[in-house]
Structure 1
């Protein structure tokens, strides 16, 4: 028997392993949303403000209202589900 045929004859279905990895990643994201519900704002990169091109003046970020943080999508979903 050639090595190529022997390798294909003993292959197993990878679906349970992929499902287990997917569930592990999802559980990790749920834990991250529970411990760290906020993430850095994507527009101002967590600073909460923007500088003018001259660098002298600044303004607050409109997306995060100058806080520099936003709720994660998973935490927003968690809050919506727990409201009822």
Structure 2
């Protein structure tokens, strides 16, 4: 093989490798997955916070209702 032909083939291979690298860098498939994971985690955290805060209020309301209904007489 001549020296010029070998150089030409190595340039083609180098360009192909660079194209693969730039395609990988430009790809955003994983970024969308990360966005959904962060969004889902935020929603789960918000749901846990809301349910814990509402749970305290609901338990107080249930206790007040139970003490109010304790004196009812159905006979």
Q: Give the TM-score, by structure 1 length.
A: 0.35
- The structure that is strand-richer by fraction is 1
Rg comparison, structure with higher value: 2
Q: Give the TM-score, by structure 2 length.
A: 0.38
- The structure that is helix-richer by fraction is 2
